[in-house]
């Protein structure tokens, strides 16, 4: 087994890729790279993992953990600890590339049952040992780090079963450690879909989706994860909380919502009941449109969402730079169609591409597509057919694999997302873009991918040469001011990536002191000794 730092930070199936032709051309054009620059191996991270710090858990206590789970499920070797020290935040990747792991967990434990989790939590409380539940470790907000060492509780090995599909109620009950693909396949085979497709779908788990309060690519139709969860079972240091799968209730607070987005700070989610929907890929309707500019495209999006019809499942809009980049990479520039579109006034650098995909009953999908086409046309949308959406869907998870090869040649690549109300969307988009573009040599793209009647998310992607030798501080400075810009312009701290430790410093400013007091009081009740994912996660003590 490969035990290098590289094998830890590489995304997904660890395939080694070179940037494709279109990306190479973009990097050359934007950053002045030459052919020789593409042979670079910047912070390649191909050294064997070695940790300075030994596990701090005394042998007698370790033995007690082993008595609970069996010794084979308690690991303290360097590689196991290193591979549970970070998620996939850009800063994490830099630390791993440099081989710097300051606070790895002391032990990685893979519990086999809920009973074992209860016993582990009791022991951690008695001995004041920090414990962080983890799924796919794809957190991009430093949600899985262990600043106090302690236990990384990995739920993917044993607690990954699909427990029950209930077709009367349209629900599925699953354990938290199940990854996206096996869950979706299981449901598809029975004529259902879970409807939750984050870009990290292949390597993230249901527990992580719920705990980090995520959203999938089809969230405009299916909803975010909080709209999909019907019931939860959570083992907290204070005891077990289990909510029921009522379709609705008026019983005081919504307890599910206390744990959705709790990021491992309150307890371990051990089962999730999700709503499921009929899977009918043959009925899907697709549409793509070009708009002359971002303002008319967002206007059309708003009109579509507020038309009193229903919602497209996938609903995406790329801003002018993202549209131009996609056209360039796909070799569309200067084609016959491109020349025709330019003639019609859809000019590069201004035009924007919109994607629609609607799922469900056949009459419904066709009717909604017709309505959307009509509204899009009223805002100057040019219908560009089904093919671009179908092509996009085929490679919907691919761009996640691009970050490593770009970092290999010294290019910083990161994304940040927010949500914003319609009346503020263009202002935020302009101002945050301006901030990002204030950096020398940077390529900034943005899109909308989760849309509501009241507003939408904005998702910024930026590429820029790393400041070599000072990569981490340079990135963190740029990122801090970026979050300041989003906050100052009325965007939420996060739409779907969660808060973790990265956005924690802004939490009190965003929520206010009293609201933070409420979160802290909940934490103090459920986790009186502060053992659950400690170290400022969510801005909690």
Ligand X SMILES: Cc1cc2nc3c(=O)[nH]c(=O)nc-3n(C[C@H](O)[C@H](O)[C@H](O)COP(=O)(O)OP(=O)(O)OC[C@H]3O[C@@H](n4cnc5c(N)ncnc54)[C@H](O)[C@@H]3O)c2cc1C
Which residues of the shown chain bind ligand X in the complex (CB under 6 A)?
A: 87-88, 132-140, 143-144, 155, 176, 198-200, 204-205, 207-209, 211-212, 214-215, 263-264, 268-269, 400, 496-498, 533
Q: Calculate the alpha carbon distances from 37 to 28, 220, 336 in Å.
A: 9, 41, 33
Minimum CB–partner distance for residue 88 and ligand X (Å): 4
The radius of gyration of the chain from alpha carbons, rounded to an integer in Å, stands at 24
* Paired tokens of 168: 């009367």
In the complex with ligand X, the residue whose CB is nearer, 234 or 301, is: 234
Nearest-CA neighbor of 203 among 135, 133, 264? 135
| Dist. CA 483–CA 478, nearest whole Å | 9
Rounded to 5 degrees, φ, ψ at 457 are: -95, 165
In the complex with ligand X, the residue whose CB is nearer, 300 or 532, is: 532
In the complex with ligand X, the residue whose CB is nearer, 93 or 358, is: 93
In the complex with ligand X, the residue whose CB is nearer, 49 or 211, is: 211
| Dist. CA 498–CA 504, nearest whole Å | 10
- The CA-to-CA distance between both ends of the chain, in Å, stands at 39
Query: What residue ranges in 294-451 does DSSP mark as E strands?
Result: 314-318, 352-358, 382-385, 411-421, 443-448
* Paired tokens of 43: 């912070």
Minimum CB–partner distance for residue 136 and ligand X (Å): 3
| Dist. CA 349–CA 420, nearest whole Å | 24
Minimum CB–partner distance for residue 273 and ligand X (Å): 14
Beta-carbon contacts of 35 under 8 Å, excluding residues fewer than 6 positions away, are none
State whether residue 188 is helix, strand or coil. Answer: helix
| Dist. CA 450–CA 57, nearest whole Å | 44
Q: Are strands 285-291 and 268-275 parallel, antiparallel or unpaired?
A: unpaired
Cβ atoms of 493 and 486 within 8 Å: the answer is yes
Q: At 299, which helix (H) or strand (E)?
A: helix 294-305
In the complex with ligand X, the residue whose CB is nearer, 198 or 410, is: 198
Minimum CB–partner distance for residue 350 and ligand X (Å): 27
Nearest-CA neighbor of 461 among 321, 280, 285? 321
Q: Are strands 107-109 and 151-154 parallel, antiparallel or unpaired?
A: parallel
Cβ atoms of 31 and 439 within 8 Å: the answer is no
Nearest-CA neighbor of 351 among 323, 329, 377? 323
Minimum CB–partner distance for residue 534 and ligand X (Å): 11
Q: Measured in whole angstroms, how far is the alpha carbon of residue 135 from the centre of its chain?
A: 13
In the complex with ligand X, the residue whose CB is nearer, 83 or 365, is: 83
* Paired tokens of 173: 């009950």
In the complex with ligand X, the residue whose CB is nearer, 260 or 375, is: 260
CB atoms within 10 A of CB 290: 20
Q: Which residue is nearest to ligand X (CB)?
A: 208
| Dist. CA 369–CA 130, nearest whole Å | 51
| Dist. CA 287–CA 386, nearest whole Å | 5
* Paired tokens of 116: 């074992």
In the complex with ligand X, the residue whose CB is nearer, 209 or 475, is: 209
Minimum CB–partner distance for residue 359 and ligand X (Å): 18
In the complex with ligand X, the residue whose CB is nearer, 130 or 276, is: 130
In the complex with ligand X, the residue whose CB is nearer, 279 or 397, is: 397
Minimum CB–partner distance for residue 395 and ligand X (Å): 14
Minimum CB–partner distance for residue 264 and ligand X (Å): 3
Rounded to 5 degrees, φ, ψ at 148 are: -105, 15
Minimum CB–partner distance for residue 526 and ligand X (Å): 12
Beta-carbon contacts of 164 under 8 Å, excluding residues fewer than 6 positions away, are 172, 173
Minimum CB–partner distance for residue 133 and ligand X (Å): 4
Minimum CB–partner distance for residue 21 and ligand X (Å): 22
Minimum CB–partner distance for residue 327 and ligand X (Å): 23
| Dist. CA 460–CA 413, nearest whole Å | 11
In the complex with ligand X, the residue whose CB is nearer, 110 or 379, is: 110
In the complex with ligand X, the residue whose CB is nearer, 260 or 368, is: 260
Minimum CB–partner distance for residue 540 and ligand X (Å): 12
In the complex with ligand X, the residue whose CB is nearer, 155 or 356, is: 155
């Amino acid at each position: 087994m490969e035990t290098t730092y590289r094998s830890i930070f590489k995304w997904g199936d660890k395939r080694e890729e070179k940037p494709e032709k279109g990306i190479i051309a973009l990097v050359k054009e934007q950053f002045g790279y030459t052919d020789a620059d593409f042979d670079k191996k910047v912070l390649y991270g191909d050294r064997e993992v070695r940790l300075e710090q030994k596990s701090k858990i005394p042998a007698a206590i370790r033995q007690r953990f082993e008595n609970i789970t069996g010794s084979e499920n308690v690991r303290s070797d360097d590689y196991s600890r290193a591979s549970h020290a970070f998620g996939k935040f850009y800063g994490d990747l830099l630390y791993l590339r440099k081989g710097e792991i300051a606070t790895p967990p002391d032990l990685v434990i893979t519990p086999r049952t809920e009973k074992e989790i209860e016993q582990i939590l009791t022991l951690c409380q008695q001995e004041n040992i920090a414990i962080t539940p983890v799924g796919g470790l794809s957190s991009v907000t430093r949600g899985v780090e262990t600043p106090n060492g302690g236990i990384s509780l990995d739920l993917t090995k044993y607690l990954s079963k699909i427990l029950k599909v209930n077709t009367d109620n349209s629900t599925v009950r699953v354990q938290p450690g199940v990854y996206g693909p096996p869950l979706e396949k299981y449901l598809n085979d029975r004529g259902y879909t879970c409807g939750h497709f984050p870009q990290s779908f292949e390597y993230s788990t249901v527990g992580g989706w719920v705990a980090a309060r995520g959203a999938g690519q089809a969230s405009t139709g299916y909803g975010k994860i909080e709209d999909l969860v019907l019931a939860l079972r959570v083992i907290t240091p204070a005891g077990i909380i289990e909510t029921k799968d009522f379709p609705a209730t008026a019983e005081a607070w919504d307890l599910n919502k206390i744990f959705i987005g709790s990021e491992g700070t309150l307890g371990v989610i051990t089962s999730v009941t999700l709503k499921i929907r009929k899977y009918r890929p043959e009925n899907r309707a697709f549409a793509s449109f070009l708009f002359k500019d971002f303002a008319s495209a967002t206007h059309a999006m708003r009109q579509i969402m507020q038309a009193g019809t229903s919602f497209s499942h996938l609903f995406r809009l790329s801003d002018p730079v993202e549209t131009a980049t996609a056209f360039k990479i796909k070799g569309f520039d200067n084609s016959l169609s491109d020349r025709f579109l330019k003639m019609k006034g859809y000019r590069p650098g201004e035009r924007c591409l919109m994607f629609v995909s609607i799922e469900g009953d056949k009459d419904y999908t066709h009717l909604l597509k017709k309505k959307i086409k009509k509204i899009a046309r009223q805002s100057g949308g040019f219908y560009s057919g089904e093919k671009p959406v179908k092509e996009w869907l085929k490679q919907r998870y691919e761009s996640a694999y691009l970050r490593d090869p770009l970092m290999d040649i010294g290019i910083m690549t990161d994304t940040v997302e927010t949500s914003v109300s319609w009346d503020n969307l263009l202002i935020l988009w302009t101002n945050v873009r301006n901030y990002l573009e204030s950096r020398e040599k940077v390529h900034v793209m943005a899109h909308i991918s989760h849309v509501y009647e009241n507003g939408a998310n904005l998702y910024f992607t930026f590429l820029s040469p790393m400041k070599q030798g000072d990569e981490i501080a340079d990135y963190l400075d740029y990122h801090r001011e970026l979050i300041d810009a989003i906050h100052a312009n009325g965007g939420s701290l996060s739409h779907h990536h969660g808060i973790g430790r990265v956005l924690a410093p802004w939490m009190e400013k965003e929520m206010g002191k009293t609201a933070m007091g409420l979160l802290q009081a909940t934490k103090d009740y459920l986790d009186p000794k502060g053992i659950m994912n400690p170290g400022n996660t969510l801005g909690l003590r």
